[in-house]
Structure 1
């Protein structure tokens, strides 16, 4: 078998407790990593670091996986902070924007999940709806209590996502923000029945797909993970 591609995976830096210890830790739910393993990839978990080290970190990687987490700082798209928007996580925003820029420069495969989709859009000059209930009039995209709700999405024909995901399917969502104005060079690859953008991609790159839903909580979503890992394997083979 070929060597599994190494996937740079972004993480939180949070105060966490285990046993008698409560301290700052690098943390990411294993649910984010399990589908990568099943698809044949190996995750290299990267905590927020100095942005000028992003290129050196990716020199050893074959793909970039932007995971979910707290809201992107609205100052990055020149917006005032909504009362429901999380406090900024400047270290994570700066690190992940630098990783994304370095990955795109290299032509490295990129997969974004939830916050990862929002970050990709903001990186390209796009904007976000800071509180989805203000747009759609209900809380169905984030009911709370860590419960992922199924929402049907329609995938646009001819997109890269359409090659690895059914045209219509209920997917698990948990987001109170969403893409508003689309960023430069991006196309919409899926929407919900409310018209919300649920996936975007950059068709100029071999693999740059970001979904607003949580495929790591969907046992039927293996096709997306396999496509990402296969693209990362092909990237590794170029070296």
Structure 2
């Protein structure tokens, strides 16, 4: 794939207090493993920091992209789905929530391929009207999805056949994934379908069939380059098709 044909993939990023050298200040950043997964799959990674946004700005941003990845991070503000915060829920990053909500809506409107990862899956569900289990241990009685301390836990996911996810995984019906989340999707938003679940019923993957490519997973594919590189190849391939389609129309 030549450089000029490589699709541009936007990745949302964190806005947190960060320290480097003599500086200790708010900064936008994203773990390198995310954008390496994109470049290894043949895409060009562009980081998107949280910033003031409205529908027009979001549309302008997504128009300049061939694909979008909503990355992991802090919990979505429960006020966005009409709930009070659970004691374990993170202090909301309202600027990031607003930015990603507007971006994913614009991507859907423009049929820009997108992939949601962990928080990204939850953000997609909330943006379209769904809700979140704020603390899974209260629901399933265990911490099997989040050990804390930056340690990823391995869990099995059953994949729905005939789904986009199944096609990305070469038809695999069961996969082992790396988890780090204490929240998960509760009520599914209208228009979304569940394409992966844990053996405890927890939703692990969703898709939006009304667009050409709209996939979101609750786990962290960037943490498993061998297995889940397939998801990054999937978004890059879909973004390439989107780029070529726009070129023909132009």
Normalization by structure 2: what TM-score?
Answer: 0.94
Cα-Cα RMSD: 0.9
* Displacement after TM superposition at 1:49 (Å): 1.4
Distance in 1 (CA, whole Å) between partners of 2:234 and 2:99 is 25
Q: 2:186 aligns with which of 180, 202, 212?
A: 180
Match of 1:237 in 2: 244
Q: State which drifts further: 158-167 or 205-214.
A: 158-167
Distance in 1 (CA, whole Å) between partners of 2:14 and 2:58 is 16
- The CA deviation string for residues 38-71 of structure 1, in whole angstroms up to 9 with x for no partner, is 1001111010112222111122110110000000
Distance in 1 (CA, whole Å) between partners of 2:53 and 2:180 is 28
Match of 1:88 in 2: 92
Match of 1:189 in 2: 195
Structure 1: segments with no counterpart, 5+ residues: none
* Displacement after TM superposition at 1:148 (Å): 0.5
| Cα pair 2:63 2:110 within 8 Å, conserved | no
Alignment of 1:47-58 (within 5 A): 47-52=49-54, 53-58=57-62
**Runs of 4+ in structure 1 displaced over 2 angstroms?**
none
Structure 2: segments with no counterpart, 5+ residues: none
* Displacement after TM superposition at 1:224 (Å): 1.2
Q: State which drifts further: 110-119 or 18-27.
A: 18-27
Normalization by structure 1: what TM-score?
Answer: 0.98
* Displacement after TM superposition at 1:202 (Å): 0.7
Match of 2:229 in 1: 222
Distance in 1 (CA, whole Å) between partners of 2:149 and 2:93 is 22
Q: Which SS does the other structure have where 1:188 is aligned? A: strand
